[in-house]
C-alpha cells in the first residue's frame, strides 16, 4: 500500500510542479488551485508512505517520479526540448529509482 501511495504522490508532484509553472506567479486562479490541491495531496501521500518506507528511499523515488513526469509533460506541452542527452539522463534517473526500490 505504501509503494502505491508513493507512486501516486510522485504523479501528483508532477501535477503540482506543472501547475506552479502555469500559475504565472499565482496570478492564474485555476492553475493556483490545482497547485495547492495537488501539493497537499502529494505531500500527504509522501508522509503516509514514509511511515513504513525508509525516508531516503521514499523521498528519492517520489522526486524521481515527479522529475521524470514533469519533464515529459513540459516536452509534450512544447515548453522544453527533449534532447538525446536529456533522455539518456532521465533513463539513468529511472534506473536509479528502480535500483533504490530493489535494494529497499
Span 10-68, pLDDT tens digits: 999 999 999 999 999 999 999 999 999 999 999 999 999 999 999 988 999 999 999 99
Number of domains into which the chain is organized: 1
CA atoms within 13 A on the CB side of 98: 7
Q: Model's pTM, two decimal places?
A: 0.88
Amino acid at each position: 500500500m505504501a509503494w502505491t501511495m508513493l507512486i501516486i504522490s510522485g504523479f501528483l508532484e508532477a501535477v503540482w510542479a506543472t501547475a506552479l509553472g502555469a500559475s504565472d506567479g499565482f496570478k492564474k486562479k485555476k492553475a493556483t488551485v490545482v497547485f495547492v490541491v495537488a501539493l497537499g495531496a502529494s505531500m500527504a501521500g509522501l508522509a503516509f508512505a514514509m511511515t513504513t518506507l525508509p525516508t531516503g528511499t521514499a523521498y528519492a523515488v517520489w522526486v524521481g517520479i515527479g522529475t521524470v513526469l514533469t519533464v515529459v509533460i513540459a516536452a509534450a506541452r512544447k515548453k522544453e526540448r527533449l534532447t538525446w542527452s536529456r533522455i539518456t539522463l532521465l533513463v539513468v534517473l529511472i534506473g536509479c529509482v528502480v535500483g533504490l526500490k530493489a535494494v529497499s
